[in-house]
Amino acid sequence: MCGLVGFLGSGVGESGDEVLTRRMANTLNHRGPDDGGVWCDGEQRIALGHRRLAIVDLSPAGHQPMMSASGRYVIAFNGEIYNHLDLRKELEQIPTNSTLAKGRILYWHGHSDTETLLVGIEAWGLEATLKKSIGMFAIALWDRQTRTLSLARDRIGEKPLYYGWQGSNNERVFLFGSELKALKAHPAFATDIDRDALCLLLRHNYIPAPYSIYQGIAKLGPGCLLSISLAQPEPRIWKYWDAVEVALAGVAQPFAGTADEAVDALEVLAKDAVRQQMMADVPLGAFLSGGIDSSTVVALMQAQSSRPVKTFTIGFNEEGYNEAVHAKTVARHLGTEHTELYVSPQQAMEVIPRLSGLYCEPFADSSQIPTYLVSQLAKQHVTVSLSGDAGDELFCGYSRYLRTLNIWKKVSLAPAPLRALAARGIKSISPSTWDSFAHFIPGTGRLRFVGDKFHKGAGVLASTTVDELYMDMVSHLRNPEEWVIGGQEPPTHLTALRPDLAGLGDVERMMALDTISYLPDDILVKVDRAAMGVSLEGRVPFLDRRVVEFSWSLPLEYKLRDGQTKWPLRQVLYRHVPRELIDRPKMGFGVPLHDWLRGPMREWAEDLLDETRLTREGYFHPAPIRQMWAEHLSGQRNWMARLWCVLMFQAWLEMENRK
């Protein structure tokens, strides 16, 4: 795993450009502590920088930036190509009289996947090589012949890549890199906070691609290629692989076998994906929560390993937040070399000051804390760790899918005008007033925060379609523009940029939207930054292209079967682990922040949410935030999710202002 950075345009070729490139690359040392390199061409006005975490081919033959054998291409590559040895065999078999013979290899300098990529690009071209590749990556490729820069990102978006023009007139420069901190190290970087993106943060707890927290800086989308040159400065972007097209194709041509045959096929694919992702020249292990997804990955690893697999989990003593006991049981059954660490509230809270630096831009999924802690634990023993992420999106694991569908089936029975009238009536009464009436409303006497639940229900009633209802269900704040001064929420995949999903059923549309939004912009960001923050490579076997494409070919009734979610994945796991060790209610991967904010974190939060400070900084209207904070402190409400989003922005802003 590595980090890359570079710039095209003004400044390259002047004195100090190599020093500047190295300085930018060194901001990514955590992503690549083992080696670093720069390559600059003043005449062509291009600079590439790289930091390397050596995983495959630890020798100098894996040094980057790397030039192709012909000298035409120079690459800075972050990631892993798991099938690169298969690609080498294919390249070696190209006949000498073929038109592709220019890419034929008589000998290899090393055994890195970076070299394989370069040879493939010379033989087949960049896009064709990416289509053949199975892996996770962000790539910057300079073509010295056409003087064209190409940027590419893996299919689902495991590896990050930011880009954008900075400077003005003759001083304009195109910056690109793995993290914003690398771009900010360039003297031309001088951009303002994007208040529209801040609205998105409040709605989702993350900022979805293509947006970033800065105006003029974008994220390259998953499965995308970008081409740019000084002669053609407007980036041209297109998809070489489209998750929506894969979903539509899979549903249109479903798997024709029986449910049991589907389980057999899934086990073969998943097992091979795990086998390929166990490729490493350094110690390797896996995160293990004891849930279905991580347990399946570990079971398939252990089934193909001659020695105990190293597994890692963290535990909390707080009731409702501890999966360590379940992980330990699964580890004992599989015979792994298991390491667990019980974390105190103090240890967990010590992570919080590091979060702003880890994530570069505001990010507010609170499970970022335990994710960092388990990465930190794993790094003490291994350099690569596999995880079970993406099982929920691919195999229908989130309870909100069925919950949304069941709610819609009930509320849609009433006419839309009547529902809208009822919603307005509910919202006309404050949550605190509803709370005071709770004892007089049948079925609500023992519930907490009745008013909040009624107001949320009003949003449900106001929905006109199941898709609108789902948007409401996944929104942390429904009216972010009322909180952000001068902000206007821009379009996303969930709104005006929504793809055409007409060929999918209701639940399948929710899964597809999560696959192109929540998965890459929340889950994978969380894992990448947390793991790379301690120089640990995280790998996600379920995101193997073959597994993703196969999952979409499975009929929904195979994923939701006999009242169980993720049915085929469960059946694969039951072949390795007794079901009684697995079948239990799903537990989130989080920490009790709602209580900590009222207790040991109160002073820290109060400082960030101070009304005078909010007014001076000028990003938020203070009134709704202060009211929410007071209600949370009093115990009237649990506003942890919304407050955490504001706190993460405030902590990030504080870090920015110190620089």
Residues annotated catalytic, as ranges = 2
Distance between CA atoms of residues 555 and 138, nearest Å: 32
Which of 421, 496, 506 has the alpha carbon at shortest distance from 466?
A: 506
Q: CB-based burial of residue 414 (10 Å sphere; 0-12 exposed, 13-18 middle, 19+ buried)?
A: exposed
344 is in an annotated binding site: no
Tokens of 292: 């279905």
Q: Cβ distance 223 to 525 under 8 Å?
A: no
Query: The tokens of 617 are what?
Result: 């900084």
Task: Tell me the C-alpha distance between 205 and 366, whole Å.
Answer: 9
Task: Count other C-beta atoms under 10 Å from residue 496's C-beta.
Answer: 8
Contact indicator for 184, 114 with CB cutoff of 8 Å: no
Greatest distance between any 2 Cα atoms in the chain: 86
Residue 150 annotated as part of some ligand binding site:
no
Q: Which amino acid is at 354?
A: R
Cα dist from 653 to 361, 608, 612, whole Å: 9, 10, 15
d(CA 36, CA 24): 11
C-alpha 315/C-alpha 344 separation (Å) is 9
Does residue 65 have a cis peptide bond before it, meaning omega lies within 30 degrees of 0? yes
599 known ligand binder: no
- Cβ neighbors of 607 (< 8 A, separation 6 or more) are 613
Cβ 95 vs Cβ 101: under 8 Å: yes
Structure tokens at 377: 């634990």
299: closest CA among 391, 398, 396, 377? 391
The Cα–Cα gap between 543 and 519 comes to 11
Residue 175: burial class (beta carbons within 10 Å; 0-12, 13-18, 19+): buried
> CA–CA distance from 451 to each of 311, 441, 482, 640 (Å)?
44, 12, 21, 16
What value does the CA radius of gyration of the chain take, rounded to a whole number of Å? 25
Tell me: is residue 387 an annotated ligand-binding position.
yes
Specify the pairing of strand 224-228 against strand 148-153.
Answer: antiparallel
Tokens of 423: 């919603």
Q: How far is CA 168 from the centre of its chain?
A: 32
Binding residues: 113, 314, 387-388
Binding residues for L-glutamine: 113
Binding residues for ATP: 314, 387-388
